[in-house]
């Protein structure tokens, strides 16, 4: 049995989540959801490479969430085709293995379809969707050699479940991630590599607080049955689960983290 197979429950006795001895890489971890994911993996005992195209932000996250022997920062622009392979190589060189890879980096310009240029379309699909393919391809060799691993992609409810004006390219990229995950899960299954995605709803990040009015945020909150917007920690909790032994029999699927936002049939859903 490889160390990535389920060892969480033995004779009915289950232990808490633990990633001790594992190495994770989080792309897009300079702030917000990615930073929370990195912090949660470190809290569970993993060593983590914190990656972002903003090296200062990545360094700040790394210094905040762990010691220098457990967490390192790295500049990664995932829109560059060679970035994924360079990142995986650097991670394995530094820590000797790669067990968990989380691709969280994404961009979401607001443009109506009539105004989207080919260049903008290609940029969004390159950062958000092509990166999933490149990351999976790069991680396959080390994960296969060590007997397993976890690939986790941050998708969105926008695209797979719902959408809004101005987000055609973003929605297409996130729906594409979910489709890619299904095929990758099948192809990678012989190597004990699970491939899953997470679909966050409205998450109250620093960026949302800075870029949206109080009225807009209150309106989004009112649309959530659980009565609050999500936090980066809510998404990080789902990542930690998928990265753990407890999720060893889960692959090719997506976990929706939206407080029930996509459930109501009508605007006035309160009972």
Looking at 108, 170, 191, 249, which residue is catalytic?
170
Burial letters 240-267, b for 16+ CB under 10 A, else e: bbbbbbbbbeebbebbbbbbebbeeeee
User: How many CB atoms neighbour CB 40 within 10 A?
Assistant: 26
**Catalytic residue check, 108:** no
Residues counted in the chain: 271
Read out DSSP for 140-153? Answer: HHHHHHHT-EEEEE
Q: Which residues pair with 49 in a beta bridge?
A: 25, 72
Q: Is the dihedral of CA 93, 95, 97, 102 positive or negative?
A: negative
Phi, psi at 190, each rounded to 5°: -65, -15
Q: Are 258 and 199 in contact (CB under 8 A)?
A: yes
SS3 state at 157: coil
What residues are labeled active site?
A: 170
């Amino acid at each position: 049995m490889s160390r990535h197979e389920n060892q969480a429950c033995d004779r009915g006795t289950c232990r808490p989540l633990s990633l001790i001895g594992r190495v994770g890489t989080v792309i897009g971890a300079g702030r917000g959801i990615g930073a929370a994911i990195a912090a949660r993996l470190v809290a569970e005992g993993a060593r983590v490479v914190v990656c972002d195209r903003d090296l200062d932000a990545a360094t700040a996250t790394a210094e905040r969430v762990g010691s220098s022997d457990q967490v390192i920062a790295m500049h990664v622009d995932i829109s560059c085709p060679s970035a994924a392979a360079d990142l995986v190589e650097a991670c394995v060189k530094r820590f000797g293995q790669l067990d968990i890879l989380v691709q969280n980096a994404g961009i979401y310009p607001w443009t109506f379809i009539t105004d989207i240029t080919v260049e903008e379309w290609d940029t969004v699909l390159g950062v958000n969707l092509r990166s999933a393919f490149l990351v999976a391809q790069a991680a396959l060799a080390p994960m296969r050699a060590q007997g397993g691993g976890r690939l986790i992609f941050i998708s969105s409810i926008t695209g797979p479940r719902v959408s809004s004006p101005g987000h055609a390219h973003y929605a297409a990229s996130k729906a594409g991630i979910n489709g890619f995950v299904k095929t990758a899960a099948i192809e990678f299954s012989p190597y004990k590599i699970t491939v899953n995605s997470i679909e966050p709803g409205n998450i109250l990040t620093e960026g949302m607080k800075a870029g949206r009015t109080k009225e807009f945020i209150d309106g989004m909150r009112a649309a959530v049955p659980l009565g609050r917007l999500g936090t980066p920690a809510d998404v990080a909790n789902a990542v930690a689960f998928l990265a753990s032994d407890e999720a060893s029999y889960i692959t090719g699927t997506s976990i929706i983290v939206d407080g029930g936002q996509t459930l109501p049939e009508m605007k006035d859903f309160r009972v």
